[in-house]
Amino acid sequence: MKIEKVRLRHVFGTIETDGLFWEERLVQPLDVYEQFRDIGGQHRFGGSASSKNELAHDAYFVQIETDEGVIGIGGPIDKAVAFIVENELTRYLIGRNPLATEFLWDIMHRGSVHGRQGNTMIAISAIDNALWDLKGRYFNAPVYSLIGGPTRTEVPAYASMLGYHVLDMGLVAERAKEKQDEGYTAQKWFFRHGPMSGAEGFKKNVDMVRTLRETLGDDDDIMLDCWQSMDVNYVIKLAEAIEEFHPRWLEETAMPDRIDSYRKIREATNIPLSGAEHHYTRWGMKQFIDDEALDIIQPDIYWAGGLSEVLKIAALATTFDLITIPHGHSTNAGIHFSVTQSPIHTPYQEYLVKWNTIHQHFLKDPVTPVKGTIHAPSGIGMTMDLDPAKIEREEEPNFGS
């Protein structure tokens, strides 16, 4: 079997929403500059709101096609990543055996001497995941059965609340209680303020954590995301102020290159630290591990190098008895990883509530939690078939001259 074509599918559709979709954004690294700090609630990704009840959305998917008619699909990805797939990586794939996933990963990585991070690695990840989907279809099996088989049939999910109101404590309490009533026993919320927001912003951050603990009670896990937008002194002060509310972890406290900052914070607080979703490959994760900078490693299966690479990252992490919980870009890919891992090393899977509405919109078989639990899918591959009923139109990718 040989790869005949790497097809990029650019699809368009509309997501029905119950009111404004992106209610509030999270703190961001650019917030150190005042002109960026007060930009409103719409997140900068995820389509455009054409009304308060719908979200116009488009996405690119990688479809690998073979001479035997077997295909594999990966995605969604954005236009910049699709450009790299078409113009830089496809040449390594045509005419080659799609089942040779280790070989194909290695030649794409070795051939991308200026692309071992960022969008090139995201493009390699999308191709790698499409190849795993293809491999599952070829062997007529779920992908998790090809990478060691299941250690369990279901994984607890934590509701990741990106895009929800975080400044109105009444709404924070209301939404947190809704997710608890849906069966989630863990939730992750996102701070809106960073060091440059001053004392008032700091108090609002603490108020959010206090509200969550008072709403959810003592037993549920609360995770808190700083989205690489803080610094050592601020996080240590914040950790001291919220430690009484027993967070499960503090996430991405600084930008991923500031590994020394993570180490200093970890040494100064009893709250576990998580991160590295914006870092790449086993070599990048090894930097955090060697410096004892994190308690929970969070590579993204669609960013860090694909399923092939995240399996290596997780194996490395277990030798240090660290937890690996991939960032939740793709529930379809994530569940195949999660159910093959030891429960003590992968106790949760992230479910980004709003992002999964977007990322799974065009899929025929989206994977969603039931009573706070994600079950291992029974379909073949990664269940990545697109749903024609959700595709309002499809266009040939146009990257310009």
Residues with active-site annotation: 327
Half-sphere exposure of 110 (CA within 13 A, CB side): 7
Residue recorded with tokens 């591959």? 381
d(CA 214, CA 364) in angstroms, rounded, equals 39
Closest CA to 385 of 307, 332, 340: 332
27, 194 in Cβ contact below 8 A? yes
3-class DSSP assignment, residue 24: coil
d(CA 153, CA 64) in angstroms, rounded, equals 29
d(CA 5, CA 93) in angstroms, rounded, equals 8
24, 41 in Cβ contact below 8 A? yes
Q: Residue 89, Cβ neighbours under 10 Å: how many?
A: 22
Instruction: Read off the tokens for 280.
Output: 């790449």
Cis peptide bond N-terminal to 272, omega within 30: no
Residue recorded with tokens 């113009």? 87
14, 55 in Cβ contact below 8 A? yes
3-class DSSP assignment, residue 17: coil
**In DSSP terms, which residues pair with 159 in a beta bridge?**
187, 351
Q: What is the separation of C-alpha 193 from the centre of its chain, rounded to a whole number of angstroms?
A: 22
161, 189 in Cβ contact below 8 A? yes
The dihedrals phi and psi of 169, each to the nearest 5 degrees, come to -65, -25
d(CA 360, CA 230) in angstroms, rounded, equals 31
Gyration radius from the chain CA atoms = 21
